[in-house]
Amino acid sequence: MSGPETRPLLVILSNEIQPADAPGRYSAPYSVRSLMKAADRAGFEVAAGPVWSFQLRLPSDGRPARLMAMGRVYEPAAMIVRATGGGSTHMVRAIDHALRRNGCVMLDPNERFQRGSTDLSDLIVEAQGSGADVDRTLVASRVDLAACLRAHDYSRGKLVAKSIAGSGGVSVRWVDGSAESIRAVLDVAESFGRQMPPFLIEPALDIAAEYRVYTLDGAVIGCVRRVAAGPERPANASQGAELVEEPAPADVLDALGKVMRQGLIGWDVARLADGRTVVIEMNRPPSWRHFAKVSKTDIAELVVAHLKARLAAAQAG
């Protein structure tokens, strides 16, 4: 419980955090664990859990709203919202609105929820205006997914199919029209069970170089060039791509300038064979597990320091 005698409380809401074998214990991915450790070193008390593990109490007598979990009351000074999705997005919207009124500093801006914005709409609407000039199709059922993949004229080129739920590039598949390549996509869709997220289908671009760029409230904090493991493999670290740290090139920064948003974002930017440089994907929240293996830049430390500075400025103002 946060109070005047304790350290400021940072709450991390993330559905990436899953129940572990022991009662009351959870497992979390690298990015969440690194945020928790960095926050502790920075002097925060830390509470983290999936969205569904928290309750939002809204007193009728004008007292501040409070978070509750397992019988404890939490009054966070700062909050990081990571993976949500599904119905929990509505819960996060309510938490965001209520706790901002308490002066809580949030990493992601409230407009993300006010606009009904999701990573998907940002990807399609914002990145679509970056010069990629490709038609995209979004499907929400296995039947439509199979139909779209089979109906495409592959003499015009291959397709890329990927789940919009994220998963570190594991779900990305190239489709050449063969039964095997279509079956590979449908196998990924079936692996989600009855909760299959929408799939995005788009033409495969002729990419000469691909970059992952991390930005924090509009500032570049890290960049790697991604080298695919083979000509038929996506340039994703989870599929064997090599990561080479280097400063973000000028053309990559120019492309990002057209679509830059607030919050912590991992951008995938491609330099095409025809000379154009385009934003092809926006990942919010991003993972930096593979990035941490090749870079001395500690993204978790930068995020926590940024939040701490914002909190100090808010308290001083």
How do the domains of the chain map onto residue ranges? 9-108+300-316, 118-130+206-283, 135-204
Residue 2 has pLDDT above 60, yes or no: no
Task: Classify domain 135-204 at the CATH class level.
Answer: alpha beta
CATH number for the domain running over 9-108+300-316: 3.40.50.20
pLDDT attached to residue 25 = 67
User: Judging by DSSP bridges, how do beta strands 72-74 and 66-69 pair with one another?
Assistant: antiparallel
Q: Read off the pLDDT of residues 219-250 as tens digits, 9 standing for 90 and up.
A: 999 999 998 766 666 667 777 789 999 999 99
**For range 282-293, the mean pLDDT:** 88
The rounded percent of the chain whose pLDDT value lies above 90 is 41
The fourth-level CATH superfamily of domain 118-130+206-283 is ATP-grasp fold, B domain (3.30.470.20)
* E strand residue ranges, the chain: 9-13, 18-19, 26-27, 45-49, 55-57, 66-69, 72-74, 78-81, 105-106, 137-139, 159-163, 173-175, 199-203, 207-216, 219-227, 242-245, 264-272, 277-283
- When mean pLDDT is compared across 21-30, 97-106, 187-196, 240-249, the lowest value belongs to 21-30
CA Rg, the chain, in Å?
A: 21
Q: What is the pTM of this model?
A: 0.84
Q: What angle (nearest 5°) sits at the alpha carbon of residue 101, between those of residues 99 and 105?
A: 60
Tokens 């991604």 belong to residue = 226
Structure tokens that stand for 152 in this block = 């495409």
pLDDT tens across 59-96, in order?
Answer: 888 888 889 988 889 989 999 988 666 567 778 888 88
Mean pLDDT of 42-58: 91
Residue with more model confidence, 82 or 170 = 82
